[in-house]
Amino acid sequence: MLGDTLKAFEDAETYISIYSLSVTGYVSRGYLYRITNNNKKALDDLNHAVSLDTASSWAYNNRTSYFMFIKEYQLAELDYKKVTLISNTDPEPYFYMSRIYKLQEKYFKALKYFNKSIDKLIIGDGTISSEDLMDDIELVTLYVERGQLYELLEAPEEMCEDYQKACDLGDCELFNKNCK
């Protein structure tokens, strides 16, 4: 593992030396600093990535992920709001906003952002928009996590509806546990 991390650092350094004005190298190295607990350098690189391209939702998303990691939810919220202005059709920042609010136990705000995320991912006829698929998050995850939120809000009917939708997409664990 350590060898892989060292190699990844070398690759990031090489990339930065060749493409010094590219967001990619700084985001990659910032992530590596984060997973090796060098938080100051991680934030320096992520801030630099954002400064290189203030219209890069990817740079903001990565910095926001870092802010969530260090539990700086207000900074994460500010960045995600910027991302929604850059690309208001992208469901991912809305999903992460919902997580930020859920972690702060602001459940109704979290629900609002879960709904927005799902709305951005689903086309009017109920199919998934292929151009707006999130990289790391699948629709089933949205339904499971929103169902868990409904559970916290003591809304069993809505909870079971979401768990049923998740089950229809292949994840039946919570439906079978809570709704049968």
> Could you report the per-residue pLDDT of 85-143, keeping only the tens digit for each?
888 778 888 888 999 999 999 999 999 999 998 888 875 555 555 444 444 457 888 99
The answer to whether 8 touches 32, Cβ cutoff 8 Å, is yes
Taking only the tens place, the pLDDT of each residue in 17-47 is: 999 999 999 999 999 999 999 999 999 999 9
Domains of the chain as residue ranges with CATH? 1-71 (1.25.40.10), 89-180 (1.25.40.10)
- Evaluate if pTM is beyond 0.75: yes
| Nearest residue to 27 (alpha-carbon basis) of 7, 56, 6 | 56
